[in-house]
Structures are given as C-alpha cells and as structure tokens.
C-alpha cells in the first residue's frame, strides 16, 4: 500500500527544507512585496493619503476648521467651482497664460544660451556659474528682491529707466502689467534650468551629422533647423515637461510679489494662489479641495498630453 | 505660587518648557529682552517661535486645525481671528485664571479690549496691544506750505494735501494703505467719521449707505489725486510707511502703535520733523477706531496650560505693560495710562492724539464676523476701485450686495 502523504510544495531553494517554519516560507514567497513594503507605506502615507483626504474633503462642506463637523455634499462643490466665472475661470486662464508664455520664453532663450555655451570658449566656466546664479536662489527671496526693484516709487527699475529718459512704469503695481512682470521674473529665474538641460542634450550629440551638413554647404541656421534641433528634440520635450509642470504650479514668486489673492484685483491669481487663499484666508476647506483636485487633474492631463507628444516625436 | 491649575487636568507631567508663538512686533522684541527675568523667577524655559503676521496666521490654521499640542501660548489678533478661533475651540477658557490673582487685577484692563478677547462671556485671551488711528504729518512741509497747524477736518486734509502735491509733484500729499484687505482697517476711521459703518444695528450690510459711498470716494480720491505717483493697490503698512519715512509724503493715516517706525532715526529719514494729530473730523466728527490689535491666548490642546498661564500672567502684568508702554507699545491697562510714567516717553502730540481717540473711538476696525479675511476683501473692493479711478458709488452697491449675501450665509 502506498503511503499517503500530504502533498507539500517542493522546496524552491537549497536553503529551504521541509522543516522550514511556515512564516519563513511565506516570507520567502512574498519577499518582493516585503522588501517593497516600507517604500509603499511611505508613498501611501505621504502621497495617497493626502490625495484621498483632499478628494474626500472636496465632497464635503468643510469650513472654519477641518475638525469641525461637515456634511457630505456630493459633487455640489464641483458644480459651484466649475460655474464660478468670477474667480475660478479667470484663475485657470491666468495659470495657462502664465505657463505658456513663461515656457515659450524660457525654451527659446534657453536654447539660444545653450547654443552659445555649447562650443568651448575662454572663461566658459565663469559664464556658466553666472548663468546658474538665479537658479540657486529661493523663489520667495527672488520675489521679494524683484518687488523692491520694481517698486513704482522708490524702486531701481524706474530709476534706471529715468536715466535713459523713459518715464516710470507701474510694473507689479499696474493692473495689466503685473502678470507680464511676474512672467519676466519667472523667466529670469528658470531659464538657467532649461539651459542646463538643453546643454546636457547638446553635448551628448555626436559631431558627425554636423560635419556632414557643413561639408554639404549648409548654413548655420540650416544646420540648426535641420540637424541639431531634430536631434536634440527629445531633450527639449523633457525640458518643456519638467519646466511646464513647475510653471503650472508656480506659487512663491506670485505670493511674494503680489501677496494674498494675487493682488487687489486678483491680477496674478493663478489656481494655486486661489486654492491657497480659499484654505488660508477663507478657511473654505471643501471648496479649496475641489479646486485642488481639479488642478491636479489639469496637471495630470497636461503631463499626459506632453508625454504622448514626446513618444510621437521619438517615433 | 498662588496659581490654580488650568482645566488641562493633571499637570505633574507637564513640560517645564513653555512654547510661545509670537508675531514680529516691537512687543515681541521687548518681551524677549525681559525673558531671562521670567525664566529665573519660575525655573521654566520659554521657547519662542517668531513669525510675520501672515505666516503666523497660516501656522495657526495648520497646527490648530490638526489639533497640535506643540503651541502653548499664542499671540493672536482678537478682531481678525478671535471669533473663529474661539468658535473652533482653539482657545482655552481662561475665565478662572483671570480671576485667580488679585494683584494681577483683570479689572484693570480697558473694557473695549476685554470685550474683544471674550467669547460667549468667557475670557479666552488677554489683550496686550491697543491701537488707535492717528494722523502722521510732516511739520516742515506744513510750514513750507504756509500752514500753521495740522488739518482738523477731512476737508482741510484734502486741501493741504493738494497744495503740497501741487507745489512739488514728486511729493505725495497723502499716503495710506491701498491693498484691498490691508486698507480696510485704516479706512474704517474714514467710514465712521463720515457717519457710516460696515453693518447697522440690525446686522444689515451698509457699505452702500450715502456716508459710506462718500467715504470710499474720499479715501480713494485722496490717494488717486494727491497720493504717490504710480500708486499701487497692494500697499500694506510697511510699503506705505516706507514712502512716508523716505520723505516722500506729507500726510499719512495709520495706527499709532507703529509710530516708532517714523520717529526712530535708524528707520526714518524724517524722524525729526514728524508730527502727530488726532484723526481729522468728517461730517460726523472725528471717529477713529480704538481697538485691541493683539492678545495672548492659550492653545486649548496644550498639555502645558498651567505653565502657559504663568507666562501669560507675567507678560501681561502691570510691570511688563508699563515697560512695554514706555518703549512705545500702547497697552490695555487703565492704571498704566493713568500713570504719568506710562506716557512720559511718547511724543507729546501723540499722547494728546491718543487721548482724543480713546474718547470718541469706535471699538472695531473691520466687520465683526467669523470669516474676517473674506469680509475684508468684500468691503475693501470699493476702496481699490476708487483708487483705480472707477466709480466708487457703483462699486459700493456691488460690494453691499455681496456683503449682505456673505452675512446671510454666515448667519445660517
């Protein structure tokens, strides 16, 4: 008679014997999850939980205090926010305008500077350091500094204009000049980052296509347009992606130059500034969360659009 | 030590470190200098976190909202966030504490400030700094324009400002806060002096009453026509004060508690020519605000409430209040104001201006609601519209409608 044995799982490893305790075997089986668990807990605690909590708050009428009792109101906040043409939609417009214009200037300027720095020249090291200076400064400090420079009455900018015979400009103080001025500050601070990324892309290109084009008699512009640019395009998309997401989220420069609400007429109120005001000035946590969730979706959407473009350009 | 324990229960495990969050203010600088004395007296250690006004407010919003216990004593603005904080139960009930020490004497505090730091008849804070709006002016510019005395009425102020600006276009006749929300508190004295208020006795919005419309048009017009060139609509007191102390403006209406910025030679180019006068009278007389701008409260979630109270009691004692007042911080204790020592260090004309203000003063400088920040933005809109040259009356009508809706929402 054949001995009846309970079927056991054959040992997977030499170290595993039938005597290995059950927990050890279980741990061995699930080790890829076990090792990843701390990282997953970290992500859950720091990303997923706040996001889920914000999502939950966006469906309630929480205000005054987060701990105060609040009622579940479903998508009422979303209806309210999406039909708000007073603050929300203008803020969306400003966010898009700010991002697109700043990004355009930064990429074009960044490309120009990167091309200049591409070929070695004397004193290149110092020029690179000088260009990177704005990048290492804290945005809030940068905002404060420009706010002083652009002060319409005692600022340096208008004094400098006076020396060359141009009348004082309102800069940040003007209702229509404030947003362009903050875009200028953003371009001043972040173009170096684009330069840095593009320069890395340019220096990784091989010289042969350039040489070939030169022998074929292509002009500098033709070489840039038809050789360098297509080759460096993947890096340009990376620069746009990184800088674009950052520009969408810009807060510190706007807050440091125009303060709460983006100025008295909300001149520079972007979605981020608006959501901040809703939370910290108005204590409207429900509505504020709604704005943030919508903003989050906008960022995810633009990221998706850009990365799919990137894949296309790589194809 | 004759102190009763706070409502916090068993304090035997309480820390000997008191964590105090304070705003950037002269008061804070003074209290920091005096701290070693308190630490020696009680054996406690005080840990101070010091923040700008806006950052302070954000910090409270985050920490108190989360039920954090790592703030024991908090410096807060009774008129700005007092009502909201008390309603949210962030502020500990101090009713027993304020009565516990006869020498400390709670009845010595002025009635107005005490009302502002109470909630539902319970004391939830102790006022530390009071403010009235006064007129700052430049004696030299006045003399140059042939005027012998500072303006007594708003009409005279306008005429004098116009005259000075006309004589020197680089000089502003008048400067004041222009930011939508920051301007509201200083605008309030204009509103009252024209005979208006933010709400009437039945709680209805009245920012489009005839006096209110006149006040908006007057304040905005004064800044637009006789203010600094390229006037922005973002100025709070640091910016407006900078224009005044850089010698670029003749008149400036602002809280008296900031006077040292103008009279201190280290901060002001015009320190020796600054004069002070009571708030100029409007059609309804001179009616500046007279308010407690800052108070100390105790975090209801603090596990160190009894030691926290020791700090509050010390920092608001008669001795400290007198020392503070001598160095330029107007306090809320009647006995200190009655003491000649309490006013000896002030410019003489400022003491007179304060005395006049406390007589006729109004106890609030902004709408008394829960969500003050929001209300300020609503009632401040006509100010910035008027400065930008838009129709102040129409803006006041729009603002009144929005403000009434806001009040209705809040009453729900």
Put simply, the answer to whether B230 touches A281 (Cβ < 8 Å) is no
Distance from CA of A182 to the nearest CA of B (A): 15
Say if CB A95 and CB B95 are below 8 A apart.
Answer: no
Question: What's the mean pLDDT in B168-191?
Answer: 95
Distance between CA atoms of A204 and A296, rounded to whole angstroms? Answer: 34
Instruction: Kindly give the pairing relationship between strand B290-298 and strand B73-76.
Output: antiparallel
Distance between CA atoms of B337 and A169, rounded to whole angstroms? Answer: 47
Tokens of B71: 């703030």
Tokens of B102: 């006869």
Look at residue A18 and give its three-state secondary structure: coil
Task: Say what the pLDDT of residue B323 is.
Answer: 95
Distance between CA atoms of B185 and B181, rounded to whole angstroms? Answer: 8
- Of A66, A264, A279, nearest to B234 by CB-CB distance is A264
- Of B87, B234, B239, nearest to A263 by CB-CB distance is B234
Evaluate if residue A8 carries a pLDDT over 70.
no
Distance from CA of B16 to the nearest CA of A (A): 29
B64: closest chain A residue by CA: A65
What value does the mean pLDDT of chain B take?
92
Chain B residues with CB under 8 Å of A65 CB are: 64-65, 88, 90
Put simply, the answer to whether A153 touches B61 (Cβ < 8 Å) is no
Look at residue B214 and give its three-state secondary structure: helix
Put simply, the answer to whether B243 touches A153 (Cβ < 8 Å) is yes
Put simply, the answer to whether A64 touches B374 (Cβ < 8 Å) is no
Distance from CA of B137 to the nearest CA of A (A): 19
Distance from CA of A174 to the nearest CA of B (A): 7
Residue A4: pLDDT band with limits 50, 70, 90: low
Instruction: Kindly give the pairing relationship between strand B17-23 and strand B73-76.
Output: parallel
- B34-89 pLDDT, tens per residue? 999 999 999 999 999 999 988 898 899 899 988 999 999 999 999 999 999 999 99
- A62-117 pLDDT, tens per residue? 988 877 788 999 999 999 999 999 999 999 999 999 999 999 999 999 999 999 98
What is this structure's pTM? 0.84
Tokens of B205: 């919005």
Evaluate if residue B198 carries a pLDDT over 50.
yes
Distance from CA of B94 to the nearest CA of A (A): 21
- B213-224 pLDDT, tens per residue? 999 999 999 999
- Of A64, A153, A172, nearest to B370 by CB-CB distance is A64
Chain A residues with CB under 8 Å of B227 CB are: none
Q: Which residues pair with residue B45 across a beta bridge?
A: B17
Distance between CA atoms of A99 and B245, rounded to whole angstroms? Answer: 38
CB atoms near residue A298 (< 10 Å)? 15
A67: closest chain B residue by CA: B65
Put simply, the answer to whether B384 touches A154 (Cβ < 8 Å) is no
By the 10 Å C-beta count (0-12 exposed, 13-18 middle, 19+ buried), A10 is classed as exposed
- Of A153, A169, A265, nearest to B384 by CB-CB distance is A265
B229: closest chain A residue by CA: A153
Which candidate in B91, B230, B240, B270 is best for mutational testing of the A interface (most A CBs within 10 A)?
Answer: B230
Task: Say what the pLDDT of residue A231 is.
Answer: 93
Chain A residues with CB under 8 Å of B377 CB are: 261, 281
- Of B66, B248, B371, nearest to A282 by CB-CB distance is B371
Which alpha helices (DSSP H) does B246-302 contain, by range? 259-263
Alpha-carbon distance values, B404 to B125, B208, B290, B390 (Å): 30, 11, 25, 22
CB atoms near residue B214 (< 10 Å)? 21
Distance from CA of B111 to the nearest CA of A (A): 28
Residue B346: pLDDT band with limits 50, 70, 90: very high
Q: Please, which residues have CB within 8 angstroms of residue B298's CB and are 6 or more apart in sequence?
A: B6, B72, B73, B74, B91, B92, B94, B305, B308, B309, B312
Distance from CA of B39 to the nearest CA of A (A): 34
B228: closest chain A residue by CA: A153
Interface of B with A (CB under 8 A): 54, 57-58, 61, 64-67, 84, 87-88, 90, 178-181, 228-234, 236, 239, 242-243, 246, 248, 370-371, 373-374, 377, 380, 384, 388
- A155-176 pLDDT, tens per residue? 899 999 999 999 888 899 888 9
- State which H helix or E strand residue A171 sits in: none
Distance between CA atoms of B176 and A226, rounded to whole angstroms? Answer: 59
A vs B: CB pairs below 8 A: 83
A157 touches chain B (CB under 8 A): no
B364 φ, ψ (degrees, to nearest 5): -140, 155
Residue A278: pLDDT band with limits 50, 70, 90: very high
- Of A67, A261, A280, nearest to B67 by CB-CB distance is A67
Put simply, the answer to whether B179 touches A264 (Cβ < 8 Å) is yes
Question: What's the mean pLDDT in A47-62?
Answer: 93
Q: What part of A 171-190 touches B (C-beta under 8 Å)?
A: 172-175
Which candidate in A65, A156, A252 is best for mutational testing of the B interface (most B CBs within 10 A)?
Answer: A65
Residue A5: pLDDT band with limits 50, 70, 90: low
What does the angle CA B299 – CA B302 – CA B303 come to, to the nearest 5 degrees? 160
- B105-137 pLDDT, tens per residue? 999 998 888 988 999 999 999 999 999 999 999
Range with the largest mean pLDDT of A2-16, B3-17, B281-295, B351-365: B281-295
Task: Say what the pLDDT of residue A70 is.
Answer: 87
B67: closest chain A residue by CA: A67
Task: Say what the pLDDT of residue A1 is.
Answer: 47
Distance between CA atoms of B164 and B172, rounded to whole angstroms? Answer: 8
Chain A residues with CB under 8 Å of B252 CB are: none
Interface predicted TM-score (ipTM) over 0.85: no
B93 φ, ψ (degrees, to nearest 5): -75, 120
Distance from CA of B169 to the nearest CA of A (A): 12
- Of A264, A279, A282, nearest to B180 by CB-CB distance is A264
Put simply, the answer to whether B230 touches A66 (Cβ < 8 Å) is no
Q: What part of A 190-219 touches B (C-beta under 8 Å)?
A: none
- Of A153, A172, A258, nearest to B228 by CB-CB distance is A153
Please, how many CA atoms are within 13 Å of residue A63, restricted to the half-sphere of its CB? Answer: 16
List strand residue ranges (DSSP E) for B168-246, in order.
172-175
A299 touches chain B (CB under 8 A): no
Chain B residues with CB under 8 Å of A282 CB are: 371, 373-374
Chain A residues with CB under 8 Å of B380 CB are: 264
Evaluate if residue B165 carries a pLDDT over 50.
yes
CB atoms near residue B388 (< 10 Å)? 17
Evaluate if residue A7 carries a pLDDT over 90.
no
């Amino acid at each position: 008679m054949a001995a009846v044995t309970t079927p056991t799982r054959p040992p997977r490893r030499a170290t595993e014997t039938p005597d290995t305790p059950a927990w050890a075997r279980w741990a061995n089986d699930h080790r890829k999850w076990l090792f990843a668990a701390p990282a997953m807990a970290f992500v859950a605690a720091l990303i997923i939980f706040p996001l889920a909590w914000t999502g939950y708050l966006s469906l309630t009428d929480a205000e005054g205090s987060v701990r105060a009792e609040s009622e579940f109101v479903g998508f009422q906040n979303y209806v309210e926010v999406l039909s708000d043409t007073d603050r929300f939609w203008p803020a969306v417009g400003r966010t898009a305008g700010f991002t697109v214009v700043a990004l355009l200037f930064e990429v074009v300027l960044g490309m120009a500077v990167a091309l200049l720095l591409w070929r070695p020249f004397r004193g290149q090291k110092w020029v690179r350091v000088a260009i990177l200076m704005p990048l290492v400064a804290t945005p809030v400090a940068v905002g404060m500094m420009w706010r002083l420079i652009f002060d319409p009455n005692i600022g340096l900018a208008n004094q400098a204009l006076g020396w060359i015979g141009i009348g004082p400009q309102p800069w940040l103080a003007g209702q229509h000049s404030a947003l362009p001025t903050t875009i200028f500050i953003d371009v001043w601070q972040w173009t170096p980052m684009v330069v840095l990324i593009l320069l890395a892309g340019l220096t990784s290109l091989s010289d042969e296509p350039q040489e070939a084009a030169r022998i074929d008699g292509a002009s500098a512009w033709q070489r840039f347009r038809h050789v360098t640019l297509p080759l460096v395009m993947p890096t340009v998309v990376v620069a746009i992606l990184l800088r674009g997401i950052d520009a969408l989220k810009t807060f510190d420069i706007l807050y440091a130059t125009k303060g709460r609400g983006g100025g008295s007429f909300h001149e520079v109120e972007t979605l981020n500034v608006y959501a901040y005001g809703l939370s910290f000035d108005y204590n409207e946590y429900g509505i504020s969360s709604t704005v943030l969730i919508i903003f989050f979706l906008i960022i995810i959407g633009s990221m998706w659009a850009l990365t799919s473009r990137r894949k296309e350009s790589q194809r | 030590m004759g102190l009763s324990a706070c409502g916090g229960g068993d304090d035997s495990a309480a820390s000997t470190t008191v964590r105090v969050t304070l705003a950037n203010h002269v008061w804070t600088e003074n209290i920091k200098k005096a701290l070693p004395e308190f630490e020696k007296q009680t054996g406690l250690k005080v840990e101070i976190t010091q923040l700008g006004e806006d950052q302070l407010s954000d910090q409270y919003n985050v920490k108190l909202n989360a039920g954090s216990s790592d703030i024991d004593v908090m410096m807060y603005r009774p008129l700005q966030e007092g009502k909201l904080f008390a309603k949210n139960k962030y502020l500990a009930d101090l009713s027993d504490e304020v009565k516990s020490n006869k020498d400390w004497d709670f009845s010595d505090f002025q009635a107005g400030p005490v009302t502002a730091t109470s909630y539902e008849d319970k004391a939830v804070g102790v006022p530390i700094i009071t403010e009235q709006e006064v007129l700052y002016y430049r004696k030299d510019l006045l003399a140059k324009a042939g005027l012998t005395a500072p303006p007594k009425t708003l009409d005279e102020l306008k005429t004098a400002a116009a005259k000075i600006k006309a004589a020197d276009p680089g000089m502003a006749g008048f400067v004041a806060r222009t930011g939508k929300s920051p301007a509201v508190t200083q605008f309030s004295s204009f509103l009252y002096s024209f005979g208006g208020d933010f709400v009437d006795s039945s709680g209805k919005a009245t920012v489009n009453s005839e006096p209110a419309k006149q006040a908006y048009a007057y304040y905005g017009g004064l800044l637009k026509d006789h203010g600094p060139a390229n006037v922005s609509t973002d100025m709070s007191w640091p910016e407006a004060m900078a224009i005044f102390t850089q010698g670029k403006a003749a008149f400036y209406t602002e809280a008296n508690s900031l006077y040292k910025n103008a009279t201190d030679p280290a901060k002001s180019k015009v320190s020796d020519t600054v004069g002070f006068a009571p708030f100029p009278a409007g059609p309804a007389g001179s009616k500046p605000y007279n308010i407690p701008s800052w108070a100390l409260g105790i975090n209801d979630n603090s596990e160190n409430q009894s030691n926290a109270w020791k700090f509050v009691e010390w920092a608001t004692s008669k001795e400290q209040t007198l020392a503070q007042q001598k160095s330029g911080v107007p306090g809320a204790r009647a006995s200190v104001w009655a003491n000649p020592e309490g006013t000896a260090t002030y410019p003489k004309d400022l003491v007179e201006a304060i005395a006049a203000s406390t007589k006729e003063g109004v106890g609030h400088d902004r709408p008394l609601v829960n969500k003050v920040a929001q209300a300020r933005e609503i009632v401040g809109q006509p100010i910035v519209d008027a400065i930008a040259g838009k129709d102040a009356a129409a803006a006041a009508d729009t603002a009144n409608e929005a403000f009434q809706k806001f009040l209705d929402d809040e009453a729900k």
